[in-house]
Amino acid sequence: MGADAGRNIYPNPSDVDVRMVPSRRDEQDSVRFSYEEHLVTATDIETGVAASGDSKLDALAELADALTLHEGGGEEIEDEDAFLHEIGLDPSRVTTEQMPPWNE
């Protein structure tokens, strides 16, 4: 056994300087969840960016990725039509003219 065996390695609470930091709730940092059957959608209130998953955790992970892309992260798409075909969408049916329902 090592030298610390049997010794309490946690500090005495009276020896630790703990300062309470007041929490703040910033409405711009809020996420709204909506539920439809087995789908959870997380929407960032500030940007309107939304993503869905099978659970809150999945929806938040997808939202994190979507926010990264929204803020300019990720790889640039050189040929949008080819990309849309690659992910199984018909480019003639995709429009940027119409706002998503969560932004209306």
97 Cα distance to chain centroid: 25
State the residue range of the domain holding 52: 27-74
Q: How many domains does the chain have?
A: 1
List Cβ neighbours of 81 (8 Å cut-off, separation of 6 or more): 91
pLDDT digits (tens, 9 = 90+) for 24-53: 555 557 999 999 999 999 999 999 999 999
| Residue type at 92 in one-letter notation | S
Examine residue 21 and state whether it is found in any structural domain, yes or no: no
8 falls within a domain: no
CA 30 to chain centre: 11
Rounded average pLDDT over 53-68: 94
Q: Is residue 17, in this structure, part of any structural domain at all?
A: no
Mean pLDDT for the stretch of residues 40-67: 94
Q: Is residue 51 situated within a structural domain?
A: yes
pTM of the model: 0.52
pLDDT of residue 11: 54
Instruction: Give me the pLDDT at residue 19, please.
Output: 52
Mean per-residue pLDDT for 85-100?
A: 83
Residue 8: the pLDDT is 54
**Burial classification of residue 103, based on how many CB atoms lie within 10 Å of its CB (0-12 exposed, 13-18 middle, 19 or more buried):** exposed
- 72-83 pLDDT, tens per residue? 888 888 999 999
Determine the Cα–Cα distance for residues 93 and 90; give it in Å rounded to an integer.
Answer: 6
Residue 103: inside a domain: no
Residue 92 lies in a domain: no
Beta bridge partners of 41: 34, 52
**Whole-angstrom distance, CA of residue 20 vs CA of residue 22:** 6
Assigned domain for 86 exists:
no
Say if 97 falls within a structural domain. no
Residue 82's Cβ-side half-sphere holds a number of Cα atoms within 13 Å equal to 3
